[in-house]
Amino acid sequence: MAMTKRIKTRYSGVYQRTSEKRRHEGRPDVCYDITYKIGSRKVWEKVGWKSEGITAGFASQVKNDRLSEVRKGKAPTKTKHITLNKAFELYCKTHLAATKSERRIRSMYCSGVKPVLGHKMIAEISVRDMQQLATSLVGQKAPATIRHYVSIVRSVYNKLIEWGDYTGENPARAIKIPRVDNDRTRFLTRSEASMLLDELCCRSLDTFRIALISLHTGMRASEIFGLMGENVNLSEGFIYINDTKNALSRVAYMTDAVRKTFEDIEPQAGEIVFPARHGDFREEVPDTFERAVKELGLNDGLADTRDKVVFHTLRHTFASWLVSEGVPLKTIQELLGHSTIRMTERYAKLAPDKKEEAARLLNMLLK
């Protein structure tokens, strides 16, 4: 990038350069550098851009921190003076690159954390900032999703501390997530599910197949999108689910309709089962699903989001149908991949009332 020469600022050891291409607020962007000595060696360090919120005064504080570290015999660390976005990239490159969770965690960070805190220096993010982020999302996102956002930030800081790149406090260490009742109460009847699948089949074969698999196995959209050919065992009728929301692998069992779907697809090892248009992994449910729901009027007159049909309703319907048929909650917990039985207990109210039957049985035994 073409830059002008360094120019002294009114702060000792702080210089600025102007970009000939990069713009900020209609003017050429300004980059701030600092210089200091380690022994007899002169060191130059880029602090950051004005468009990133960096000022000459802040750069001076960074320089003073460097000199303090040098006087204490410590090697100056640059990491604490980077933005959370850059810290997250370092976290991904160093820690997540070898895991299957990188794509999911990147997606969550970009949707929930980056727009609010990504531009801030990691040393400037406070516990209050984190609490405000969590509180502002209540009612918009599920509590579990908010916890994931906070957990991502907490993990980034923990790794920086573990690597010796950051010595401050972790602002996400003790964030409290306000609890709200946002459990979905809506599930589809047999006729509604049949109508929805028929409508999807007319509109998009791919969306129909994805919806059918979710309805018949309880798989999340992200789990279906992450399926590779080797995860589908047609001979045994199993689907191996590895890249899950809670990182717990599990097995889904094929119904006849699901098996027929995969037989038509003919999954190949090393290939994505449901690739996006350009061949990579899908990130979102196709808009076709929402259009089909609207066409059928499944959400007409409903204001409460908990009552509306969304793609996740298919997973909820899968569990609700099983509970209503008397399948034990423990079995449903394992099929859904819930980390605790408490998450599955929301369906308990749909279970057949066995108390009266138990009382009759006891009465017969005591006669």
pLDDT digits (tens, 9 = 90+) for 351-366: 666 556 666 666 776 7
Tokens of 229: 């050919």
CA atoms of 282 and 194, how far apart (whole Å): 25
Give the chain's mean pLDDT: 86
- Chain centre distance of CA 221: 13
Residue linked to tokens 């990147």: 106
Buried b (16+ CB within 10 A) or exposed e, 230-254: ebbeeeebebebebbbeeeebbbeb
Q: What is the pTM of this model?
A: 0.59
Residue with the bigger pLDDT between 144 and 191: it is 191
CB 81 within 8 A of CB 160: no
- State the residue for tokens 């820690």: 95
Among residues 353, 327, 331, which one has the least CA distance to residue 341? 331
Give the pLDDT confidence of 258-294 residue by residue, as tens digits: 999 999 999 999 999 999 988 888 988 999 999 999 9
Q: Across residues 46-64, what is the average pLDDT?
A: 86
CATH ID of 190-350, from 1.10.443.10, 3.90.380.10, 2.40.30.10, 1.10.357.10:
1.10.443.10
**Higher per-residue confidence, 299 vs 346:** 299
Residue 8's DSSP bridge partners are 15
User: Which of the four pLDDT bands, split at 50, 70 and 90, describes residue 99?
Assistant: low
Helix runs in the chain, H state only: 56-71, 84-91, 102-108, 114-117, 127-136, 143-162, 190-203, 205-217, 221-225, 256-265, 287-296, 312-324, 329-336, 341-344, 355-366
Burial class (CB in 10 A: 0-12, 13-18, 19+), 142: middle
- Of 32-41, 113-122, 199-208, 265-274, where does mean pLDDT reach its minimum? 32-41
How high is the pLDDT of residue 162? 82
**CA dist., res. 131 & res. 118, Å (int):** 15
pLDDT of res. 367: 59
pLDDT, tens digit, for every residue of 108-158?
A: 899 999 999 999 888 889 888 999 998 888 778 877 788 889 999 999 999
pLDDT in tens, 212-224: 999 999 999 999 9
Residue in 230, 192, 228 with CA at minimum distance from that of residue 211: 192
pLDDT value of position 267: 95
Q: Which of 65-69, 113-117, 167-171, 175-179 has the highest mean pLDDT?
A: 113-117
Buried b (16+ CB within 10 A) or exposed e, 330-367: eebbebbbbeeeeebebbeeebeeeeeeeeeeeeeeee
pLDDT value, residue 262: 97
> How far apart (Å, rounded) are the C-alpha atoms in residues 137 and 34?
38
